[in-house]
Chain A
């Protein structure tokens, strides 16, 4: 369900959610091709991303973890969430904010309230395209500067309670939510026990944001590790040099 509400007299505040740091205390690393960033031993609430019956299955922004990262232009970037034990079933959503880092959104933008009674982003829609209910707080042109949801993965069970907090569908698996190729061309990946992975294909350089939380309320929650990696890419200059070398060689032969 798309909503068009814009509260004209509202002021964007930003900072509705805070961001976790990567290993080494880095707030928002800028990765080069072939580089990766990781975090070890993060605490994950059992159902902070999906499946919490008290929230009608929706995500709970202040109990999961948010990370920002600048990805270079690369053919493939991979986000991997690995639980330390069977107490945590991870889920992850990834968004793109383009040339500027995610500003954290605005609390209560548009006055949205979930069916469970929480305003945004205390409860929010981590699975819906921007513009859907529960996303205005972070959407570019509304309460935030986020440009697009790219995809998500849920390793826990599908949520069968109805209705969900924002009308979203909470299902087990990996979901490509890209509408254009502006940021990535496709999102794939896989999920398994204690494991969730997203693969972003043909990534455009820019800022990306991950939200990670649990997706199975029957579990105790637990620790997990997160890693985002990019494949090594020949640098642009190297490519040009190789191309020129090839052209010269071809000329000599001819």
Chain B
């Protein structure tokens, strides 16, 4: 009896040693959640009917890509010299630092027009040159501490300088500058001199954007392309003109799936902040560009991976333009029924001073432009970063990265970065790709014990600061800005509909089909929500519907459900009652203050960061997430953005996380090698002078400031040869320091004292002598 404990211990010893030896690196990672994986070979969303099928819209994909690349980089597209690439020239993003400030968010609850003082109390405003000391825009006494005292906060936004604006009159077939009535902008002016307006959200990279289900920070560019606007099915007047016979033409609806890049492309060229004078229309662009040489004023490298064969340049002889016209490229790329109707009549006419009616070619130019851009941007896939190229161990962990980056891979998961930046694109907004991968292999993310739903649902349901709420897949509120500073996904379209799928899904559940304006919302499978909205159980629950309120089986199959117990929806009556209840806890939306989760690929090169560009470096981003964000907005996903104590106390872990993020840079992007090569571009990089005075007058208008122009040289397929692209903060400078006060050194002090002593002594000698 007395040796029983010893016997029990002795029996356990072999087990103990076996356990001690069985700790295999990687085995314990199961609870880390989804693991990042390579983008190589990942499925790219395709656009059914665009280049395939019995009646494809595009009949020559190569010509369409060439058209798209030329249009993307052509400065003649904008009303006053702005190209798409003007805001996406640097790793697909914008690294300019002058005249890039906007005074507040894009869709704030309360509009703001006042610029903030800098952290040091300096005056900012239009045409201000950002300095390193301006960042970050939110500061506390300890950037790593979640409860440190607030020191400084600004609601200014680092966006992109765009157009002078003005009211559109007409285009010129020869000039790049449109005829517009231009005045200094009431906000963007220095003294009486107008400067270029600045978009109030930071320009995201276009690289890998083909994977995003929707575009723009607020998702306002529909996944389904309608041919003439960004709004997809929401736009009742959308459509394209189709020639139906030798003398007949008809406007038809278009609905191209997975074509959000095309939807997105249609917005900036008409936006009076970004590229255009007000009231310009896509047919006006067609009229302006149709018969001119693409990139007529910009050099195109002879070895450009797409445009080289069309370039006027020859080896060693760089020349502007392509040896063709936009009309010829359109006619080569697109089916003739979209451009071959010779007459006019049903297509309308310009709103400005040009009386000439539009042609079919012009009327459909928006579609040509948008689909060409879609196809070009779909080629911009960066899947050759060190992370992508690394071999992986049996657990899927990369093994060729530096030890620090390897540690950062784990840290990326333990810090829950992976719960939003999910999958090979490092964003859950890559909805189709992530869902397809999981359908092909449910263990692809290795997340069986710490799973996030990666279904094809366009919404999910999450626990957020304000309760449990429905949110669009791939969108999140991370607490960068306070509630209402920018509504983001919580905004509305021009037709009065909510931008979010989440709000539509709530209407759908409540039996209000008229509240659903987007496809796929009514296809949401309840059992694939991260948090169930209804369960078939007798007891009430505070965050989901039960038999108490009334539930119904989901109409879809339950095969492969994320949560089999959640395969129920509330009865419409129950949903309606909850939606109208002042104590609603089950029918909430987290759209307000939420934004699209960006990819992290090439993030080293795509600063400044966040939708408001408020952070200049990845270190500042890591500090932000280490302290758990800036604000606890109601929709904040506190389960993913919360104080990271391990990061806070470990510079090694923070460095590791940074090193892992740096491993996501594709060297082809850094060196602008194909497919990331490009034509020459001249961009407005602020105006001559500064934020206090603008010197020089723009040739565009007598009251407008003279642009400072930066030349981005043409690069061929082999890329840059000397200087690679750098990070955003490398372009920031400190303001010139005040003139130094001459210092008096110790030697000078001694010399003065010595002279003083000598003087006094000599005076005394004189006194004695006298």
Q: List 6 A-B contacts (CB under 8 A).
A: A16-B31, A26-B20, A46-B645, A113-B544, A205-B12, A219-B147
Residue of A nearest to B537 (CB): A111
A101: CB under 8 A from chain B?
Answer: yes
How far apart are the CA atoms of A17 and B13 in the complex, in Å?
25
Tell me if A73 and B9 are in contact (CB < 8 A).
Answer: yes
How far apart are the CA atoms of A17 and B520 in the complex, in Å?
35
Tell me if A113 and B532 are in contact (CB < 8 A).
Answer: yes
A8 to chain B, nearest CB (A): 13
How far apart are the CA atoms of A222 and B461 in the complex, in Å?
31
B426: CB under 8 A from chain A?
Answer: no
Tell me if A111 and B31 are in contact (CB < 8 A).
Answer: no
A28: CB under 8 A from chain B?
Answer: yes
- B contact residues around A81 at 8 Å (CB): none
A249: CB under 8 A from chain B?
Answer: no
A203 to chain B, nearest CB (A): 10
Q: B406-445 CB contact bits vs A (8 Å, 1 = yes)?
A: 0000000000100000000000000000000000000000
Within 8 A of B (CB), among A10-37: 13-19, 21, 26-30, 32
Report B's interface with A, CB cutoff 8 A.
2-6, 8-9, 12-13, 15-16, 19-20, 23, 28-32, 145-148, 416, 448-451, 461-463, 465, 467-468, 531-532, 535, 541-544, 563, 565, 638-639, 642-643, 645-646, 648-650
Tell me if A43 and B463 are in contact (CB < 8 A).
Answer: no
Task: State the interface size on chain A (CB cutoff 8 A).
Answer: 56
Tell me if A113 and B2 are in contact (CB < 8 A).
Answer: no
Residue of B nearest to A29 (CB): B20
- A contact residues around B30 at 8 Å (CB): 15, 18
Tell me if A223 and B5 are in contact (CB < 8 A).
Answer: no
- A contact residues around B563 at 8 Å (CB): 108, 111
Tell me if A117 and B467 are in contact (CB < 8 A).
Answer: yes
Tell me if B643 and A221 are in contact (CB < 8 A).
Answer: yes
- A contact residues around B16 at 8 Å (CB): 28, 30, 70
Tell me if A113 and B531 are in contact (CB < 8 A).
Answer: yes
Main secondary structure of the interface of A (DSSP, over half): loop
A157 to chain B, nearest CB (A): 16
Tell me if B645 and A15 are in contact (CB < 8 A).
Answer: no
Residue of A nearest to B469 (CB): A117
Tell me if B448 and A13 are in contact (CB < 8 A).
Answer: yes
Q: Which of B30, B467, B563, B650 gathers the greatest number of chain A CB atoms within 10 Å?
A: B30
A125: CB under 8 A from chain B?
Answer: no
Contact of A115 among B9, B543, B646 (CB under 8 A): B543
Within 8 A of B (CB), among A214-248: 218-223, 235-237, 239-240, 243
B589 to chain A, nearest CB (A): 14
How far apart are the CA atoms of A223 and B19 in the complex, in Å?
28
- B contact residues around A16 at 8 Å (CB): 31, 449-450
Contact of B2 among A29, A163, A243 (CB under 8 A): A243
Contact of B3 among A72, A108, A206, A240 (CB under 8 A): A240
A128 to chain B, nearest CB (A): 17
Tell me if A221 and B12 are in contact (CB < 8 A).
Answer: no
Contact of A45 among B3, B8, B544, B643 (CB under 8 A): B643
CB within 8 Å for A107 and B451 given contacts A18-B29, A43-B645, A117-B468: yes
Tell me if A220 and B147 are in contact (CB < 8 A).
Answer: yes
Tell me if B31 and A62 are in contact (CB < 8 A).
Answer: yes
Tell me if A18 and B32 are in contact (CB < 8 A).
Answer: yes
A55 to chain B, nearest CB (A): 8
A38: CB under 8 A from chain B?
Answer: no
Tell me if B19 and A17 are in contact (CB < 8 A).
Answer: no
Residue of B nearest to A111 (CB): B565
Within 8 A of B (CB), among A112-145: 113, 115-119, 122
A201: CB under 8 A from chain B?
Answer: no
Residue of B nearest to A235 (CB): B6
CB within 8 Å for A236 and B531 given contacts A13-B449, A107-B449: no
A41: CB under 8 A from chain B?
Answer: yes
B549 to chain A, nearest CB (A): 16
Nearest first, the 6 A-B pairs at minimum CB distance are A73-B5, A43-B645, A117-B468, A117-B463, A236-B6, A111-B565
A17 to chain B, nearest CB (A): 6
- B contact residues around A21 at 8 Å (CB): 23
Tell me if A220 and B146 are in contact (CB < 8 A).
Answer: yes
Report A's interface with B, CB cutoff 8 A.
13-19, 21, 26-30, 32, 41, 43-46, 54, 62-63, 70, 72-73, 99-101, 104, 106-108, 111, 113, 115-119, 122, 163, 204-206, 218-223, 235-237, 239-240, 243
Tell me if B8 and A205 are in contact (CB < 8 A).
Answer: yes
- B contact residues around A70 at 8 Å (CB): 12, 16
Contact of B645 among A28, A32, A118, A222 (CB under 8 A): A222
- B contact residues around A44 at 8 Å (CB): 645
Contact of B9 among A19, A119, A205, A223 (CB under 8 A): A205
Tell me if B543 and A54 are in contact (CB < 8 A).
Answer: no
How far apart are the CA atoms of A229 and B250 in the complex, in Å?
85
A234 to chain B, nearest CB (A): 10
Residue of B nearest to A214 (CB): B645
Additional A-B contact list (20), CB under 8 Å, known A46-B643, A206-B8 = A13-B448, A18-B32, A28-B19, A28-B20, A30-B12, A43-B645, A46-B645, A62-B450, A73-B8, A104-B31, A113-B532, A116-B463, A117-B468, A118-B531, A163-B542, A205-B12, A220-B148, A221-B648, A239-B2, A243-B2
Contact of A43 among B147, B531, B535, B646 (CB under 8 A): B646
B533 to chain A, nearest CB (A): 10
How far apart are the CA atoms of A77 and B536 in the complex, in Å?
46
Tell me if B543 and A113 are in contact (CB < 8 A).
Answer: yes
How far apart are the CA atoms of A253 and B578 in the complex, in Å?
88
How far apart are the CA atoms of A13 and B13 in the complex, in Å?
26
Q: Which of B2, B6, B148, B543 gathers the greatest number of chain A CB atoms within 10 Å?
A: B6
- A contact residues around B535 at 8 Å (CB): 111
Tell me if B145 and A220 are in contact (CB < 8 A).
Answer: yes
- B contact residues around A43 at 8 Å (CB): 645-646, 648-650
- A contact residues around B4 at 8 Å (CB): 236
- B contact residues around A240 at 8 Å (CB): 2-3
How far apart are the CA atoms of A94 and B224 in the complex, in Å?
54
Tell me if B31 and A17 are in contact (CB < 8 A).
Answer: yes
- A contact residues around B650 at 8 Å (CB): 43
Tell me if A115 and B449 are in contact (CB < 8 A).
Answer: no
Tell me if B649 and A107 are in contact (CB < 8 A).
Answer: no
A103 to chain B, nearest CB (A): 11
How far apart are the CA atoms of A223 and B543 in the complex, in Å?
34
Tell me if B19 and A101 are in contact (CB < 8 A).
Answer: yes
Tell me if B2 and A63 are in contact (CB < 8 A).
Answer: no
Residue of A nearest to B650 (CB): A43
A232 to chain B, nearest CB (A): 14
How far apart are the CA atoms of A236 and B9 in the complex, in Å?
11
Tell me if A220 and B643 are in contact (CB < 8 A).
Answer: yes
Residue of B nearest to A219 (CB): B147
- B contact residues around A204 at 8 Å (CB): 5, 8
Contact of A107 among B3, B450, B643, B645 (CB under 8 A): B450
Tell me if A18 and B2 are in contact (CB < 8 A).
Answer: no
CB within 8 Å for A41 and B565 given contacts A18-B29, A27-B19, A30-B16: no
- B contact residues around A235 at 8 Å (CB): 6
Tell me if B20 and A27 are in contact (CB < 8 A).
Answer: yes
How far apart are the CA atoms of A219 and B146 in the complex, in Å?
8
- B contact residues around A30 at 8 Å (CB): 12-13, 16, 20
Tell me if A236 and B449 are in contact (CB < 8 A).
Answer: no
CB within 8 Å for A116 and B642 given contacts A16-B31, A16-B450: no
Tell me if B12 and A54 are in contact (CB < 8 A).
Answer: no
Tell me if B5 and A46 are in contact (CB < 8 A).
Answer: no
CB within 8 Å for A99 and B12 given contacts A113-B541, A116-B543: yes
- A contact residues around B8 at 8 Å (CB): 73, 204-206
How far apart are the CA atoms of A100 and B15 in the complex, in Å?
8
Tell me if B23 and A27 are in contact (CB < 8 A).
Answer: yes
How far apart are the CA atoms of A220 and B627 in the complex, in Å?
9
